[in-house]
């Protein structure tokens, strides 16, 4: 797959670094740094794009400026991209109304678009946009990206004799690399404590999801992201948690 990552700061740089280090060997990844300053209204997107842009299959927009969303349809035309992923890790970077518009603009030119909120809610078939609401998509390109990066998916093995985590394989990492970081810290942890430990490790990782209260969730997107990881870990170890059994008293011989 040929991928163009659009970045504007540290948020995008860290995401691209993780994707480059963990992506399949046959992926081709290019990076373009968007302008740091854009006008409030963009009448001519082509004026803010470089003369060079590679031919790609997918655009991953991981920027810290909402104006970049208005450049993406023209960018898709120039690059030949058939799919765009534009996550919402902070409402001010891609407000919900603009995300909805972006999906419509791209649909009008035959380009698939996913706007996962947060980015680590992306799966091979859908993504979250608000509490208890997901949007499905039909794009083999987005699904191929999401097979490797998106909603964390771990494969956990438990040492039954000690009730601790024996191994953790990362089947799908978060785009930022948080799941892989957390997995390394779960070894040897009790199955009764491992979900909380995963949440703690998530908060130790420099997640850049918003810490402001998000109206679509009634919570911070950082907490939403952390809960996604905790729920995945809890589901994995659920069969191994201690269960309480009612054992009848032995009959008295008297």
Q: Please, which residues bridge with residue 133 across strands?
A: 130
Q: Please, which residues bridge with residue 58 across strands?
A: 3, 83
Q: Are 128 and 117 within 8 A, CB to CB?
A: yes
Average the pLDDT over 155-177 and give the result. Answer: 94
Domain's final residue, options 148, 178, 200 = 148
Q: Are residues 112 and 125 in the same domain?
A: yes
Name the nearest CA neighbour of 217 among 136, 125, 134: 134
Asked if the structure places residue 162 within a domain, the reply is yes
Asked if the structure places residue 254 within a domain, the reply is no
Q: Please, which residues bridge with residue 159 across strands?
A: 164
Q: In the predicted model, what is the mean pLDDT of the chain?
A: 91
Domain's final residue, options 117, 148, 179 = 148
pLDDT at 249 over 60: no
Q: Please, which residues bridge with residue 28 across strands?
A: 2
Looking at the whole model, is its pTM more than 0.75?
A: yes
Q: Are residues 173 and 236 in the same domain?
A: yes
Q: Are residues 29 and 108 in the same domain?
A: yes
Q: Are residues 158 and 131 in the same domain?
A: no
Domain's final residue, options 132, 148, 164 = 148
pLDDT at 39: 67
pLDDT at 99: 96
Q: Are residues 124 and 158 in the same domain?
A: no
Three-state DSSP at 205 gives coil
Name the nearest CA neighbour of 109 among 59, 38, 40, 49: 59
What's 130's domain CATH number? 3.40.50.720
> What tokens appear for 60 in the block?
């991953």
Q: Are residues 42 and 58 in the same domain?
A: yes
pLDDT at 54 over 80: yes
Q: Supply the range of the domain harboring residue 91.
A: 2-148
Average the pLDDT over 125-154 and give the result. Answer: 97
Q: Are residues 28 and 140 in the same domain?
A: yes
pLDDT at 242: 60
pLDDT at 78 over 50: yes
What span, in angstroms and rounded, lies between the C-alpha atoms of 78 and 5?
A: 15
Q: At what angle do helices 221-237 and 194-204 cross, to 10 degrees?
A: 150
Q: Are residues 175 and 88 in the same domain?
A: no
pLDDT at 251 over 60: no
Q: Are 223 and 210 within 8 A, CB to CB?
A: no
pLDDT at 243 over 70: no
């Amino acid at each position: 797959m040929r991928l163009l990552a659009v970045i504007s700061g540290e948020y995008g740089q860290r995401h691209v670094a993780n994707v480059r280090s963990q992506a399949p060997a046959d992926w081709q990844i290019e990076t373009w740094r968007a302008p740091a300053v854009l006008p409030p209204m963009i009448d001519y997107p082509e004026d803010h794009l470089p003369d060079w842009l590679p031919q790609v299959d997918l655009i991953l927009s991981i920027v810290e400026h909402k104006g970049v969303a208005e450049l993406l349809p023209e960018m898709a035309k120039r690059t030949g991209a058939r799919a765009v992923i534009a996550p919402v890790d902070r409402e001010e970077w891609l407000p919900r109304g603009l995300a909805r518009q972006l999906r419509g603009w791209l649909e009008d030119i035959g380009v698939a678009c996913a706007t996962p909120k947060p980015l680590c809610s992306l799966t091979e078939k859908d993504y979250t946009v608000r509490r208890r609401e997901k949007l499905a998509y039909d794009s083999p390109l987005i699904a191929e990206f999401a097979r490797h990066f998106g909603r964390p998916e771990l494969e956990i093995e438990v040492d039954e004799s000690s009730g601790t985590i024996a191994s953790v394989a990362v089947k799908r990492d978060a785009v930022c690399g948080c799941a892989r970081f957390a997995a390394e810290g779960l070894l040897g942890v009790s199955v009764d404590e491992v979900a909380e430990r995963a949440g703690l490790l998530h908060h130790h990782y420099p997640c850049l999801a918003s810490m402001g209260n998000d109206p679509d969730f009634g919570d911070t997107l950082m907490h939403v992201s952390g809960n996604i990881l905790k729920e995945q870990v809890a589901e994995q170890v659920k069969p191994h948690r201690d269960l309480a059994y009612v054992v009848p008293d032995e009959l008295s011989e008297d």
